[in-house]
Structure formats: structure tokens, C-alpha cells
Amino acid sequence: MKKLTLSLIVMTGLMLMMVGGVSATTLEEGAIIAAADRLVETQNNDGTWEWDNPDTNKTYNAEERTVCNSNIVGVTARGLVDAYQAIGTQTYLDAAKISGDAIVACGYIDPADKYYSQDIEFLVELGEATGNSTYTNKAVAIMEYFMNDANRYCASGCTAAELAAYYQGFYGSPNEGMTEWQLASWVRAAQVTGKTSWANDMISEINDDITTIPYFNISDLGDYGVIGLAGIVDATGDAGAKQALLDLQETDGRWGTPNGVVQDTAYAVMALLKVEEITSANWGKNWLVNNQYANGGWIESDSIEYTEVDSEALQAIFDVIAVTNVVGEGADFVALTVPDSIDYGNLFSTPGFETVAQEITLTNVGSLGIVVTPIWESGAEVFKRIKFSDTSEGTME
């Protein structure tokens, strides 16, 4: 008898799982494929992307950029890594490697060269996906460069306090939200490169921004307020910022300021997942999936498609799948079919989020005690997806 711990997703009688990977519903999978195909289609030969796509902005004059001074390469390429992890299509990983190789080839000693925290995050993810330590080592080198050497932010390496002060001065009012969004990325970059002490110092700076100073007022948001709140929640888990972010969600599941509904929703979703607000995150994910354009991208509130935002929306969809559909830790699972005889409608008395645990048995996989709770609600669709989580150790016969 084998002890089994489960965290499964059921879709109208079919359990979707991938051995050692992330499963996706047909709708989510289609959204990821379309978005990743769009990123591959719009990627330049040198691994860069233009800021926005000319086919949605006919008056756009494409700037001449190189990968060393483009601030969207890493953040955009991250979507390709996520797509590869979700779908397994080698083309996506190959495209991500083009961007990664270009970043690795850039010299970063000259302070004029513009690496970004998102490049660090991307390189670590790419290193994990490919098993190539070259990317990971470069990420660590870039982080150490910003910490220890003269760079465009600081004269002799940046402490967390110095970097926070730079962004506060650079963005200013009413763009405080951009500062918190950037600082949260630096927290993640430091964490994934093992610079835990520096990351903790930056978390303290963010906490100071919403308490001691306060630089960022969560009850009086300026421009970019949603991604600012998302950055704070992501980095600190602050309860006040989390509640403010939840309160800003629209009835259709999105978030939005005049500066970007799609981007706001993507970052709100990713941040709320980190603090286990699964229902709201799923709701936001559903809005992203339902508002994707036929070309695979998303059109922002200014009627322009931005390549970075396309990737960020893809990342948010992937993250929801990763949180709610990954089965176990280090365990191998095979595909199972749940009996159609299970009456999903009887599991919950009324539409809405039900917290009462109910036990059922999946007879086709042996005796297995599990508890069923819904993970999101949207009118009648409350029964569409059900999360199975263990309350006791079951057995697989």
C-alpha cells in the first residue's frame, strides 16, 4: 500500500495532470500557447522585442535598440520559459535561450550598460529550465555587480536603502507605485541569487515606504497604484496592502488604472497567489484568458499591444496553474479518470465559495480519503473546477 498526498484539479470528470510538470485546462493551455506564439513571432533576431507592436500602433516609430539597453528583454522572455514549462514546446525554450544568450554576451562593467532586475530573475529561471549554469552564474554576477560596483544607480555599489532612494527620486509623485513595483523585483532578484540579507534589507525599505515615511499611501493611490500594491504584497505580504488590492478588484475580475488594465491584473494575480488569495487570483486569471485577442496578445487600455504586457499576462495565467494544478512535491503521478458518476452539483448546496469540507471516495483509484473545496467562484461556474487537497494520509491500492 502506497501512502499518497494529493492536490488535484478536476474538470467535469477529467483529471488533468502531467508527470513532473504543470497541467492546464484546454482554455488556459490555449491562452498560453497563443501568447507564447505571439512572443516568438514578435521577437527580433537578436533576442529583443520592440516596446509595442506596430500592427496595433500604426504611428509607432520603432526605436533602434540592442539587448544591452532594453528594459523589456528579461521580463518578456520569462513568459517563454513559463510557456515551455507548461506546454513543453521546445520552440519556446529555444526563443528564450536566444534572449538569454544575448544577455550573457553583454558586458556589464560599463555603467552605461543597462541590466535590470528582471533580467536576473529571467536568467535564473532559464538556468533551471535548461540545466545550464551559465545563465545562473551570469544572474549572480549581475546582482553582485549592482551590489558592489559603480553602476547607473549608485556610485560605488548599491545598498538596499540607496537603491530605494534612487527609485523614489527617479519616479517621484504621482508615480510612487512604479517604485514599489521595481523594488519588489529587486527583492526577488536578490532572493533567487542567494543574496538573502540584501533582500531582507530591501523588504525593510518597502515596509518603511508604507509605514514610517510614508512614501506610498495605500489609501490614496497615485498613478501605477495597482502594480505598486502588488509589489508590496509580493515582497512583504503586508495585510493592509493585500486588502487594498482585493478591494480594487472589479466585478468582472480585472484590476485597472488608466495606465494599464492588463498589466495591473497580471501583477495583482501573481501577488495574490503568493499570499494564498486563490479565489481572487483565479478570478483575475479568468479575465485575462477571456480578454486575449485572436493574435495571442492583449490590448491595453490605451488601445496598444505591448510585448512586455503580453508576457506578463502569460506569466500570471501560468502562475495560477502552477499554484493550483501542480501535484505533490517531487512525486510522479499518472493520468487518472474521475468517475462521471460523481454528482458535482451535490457537493455544494448553493453557488458561491463554500468552506465546508466534504469527503468522497474515488473508487477507480482505490480507497482514498480526500476533502473537496472549490477554488474560485463565478456565478454558475462555481462547480467547474474543484481542488482536491488531503486532510489525512490515504492509500493507493
User: pLDDT tens-digit profile of 217-243?
Assistant: 766 676 788 999 999 999 999 999 999
50 lies in some domain:
no
Residues 6 or more apart whose Cβ sits within 8 Å of residue 229: 177, 180, 218, 221, 241, 244, 245, 248, 268, 271
If one counts the domains in the chain, the total is 2
Residue entry with cell 494599464: 260
In which residue ranges of the chain is pLDDT below 50? 1-23, 58, 60, 64, 108-109, 111, 326-397
Separation between Cα atoms, residue 318 and residue 295, nearest integer Å? 19
Q: Cβ-count burial of 28 within 10 angstroms (0-12 exposed, 13-18 middle, 19+ buried)? A: buried
Which element (helix H / strand E) includes 261? helix 261-274
Of 227, 251, 286, at which residue does a domain stop? 227
What number of helices (H) and strands (E) belong to the chain? Answer: 13, 7
For the chain, how long is the longest CA-to-CA vector? 68
DSSP assignment letter at 383: G
Residue 354 within a domain:
yes
- Asked if residue 342 belongs to a domain, the reply is yes
Locate 216 and state its grid cell. Answer: 506610498
What pLDDT was estimated at residue 216? 73
Which range marks the domain in which residue 343 is found?
Answer: 1-21+332-397
In contact, 347 and 357? CB cutoff 8 Å? no
Q: What is the DSSP string of 177-243?
A: HHHHHHHHHHHHHHHHTT-HHHHHHHHHHHHHHHTTS-SS-TTS--TTHHHHHHHHHHHH--HHHHH
Write phi, then psi, for 41 (nearest 5 degrees). -60, -35
State pTM to two decimals. 0.76
Which of the listed residues 227, 260, 280 is the one where a domain comes to its end?
Answer: 227
Asked, for residue 95, whether it belongs to a domain, the answer is no
Residues β-bridged to residue 2: 396
- CA atoms of 43 and 18, how far apart (whole Å): 29
d(CA 368, CA 325): 19
pLDDT for 378 = 35
SS3 317: helix
Q: What is residue 97's predicted lDDT score, i.e. its pLDDT?
A: 98
Domain boundary among 227, 261, 282: 227
Is residue 275 assigned to a domain? no
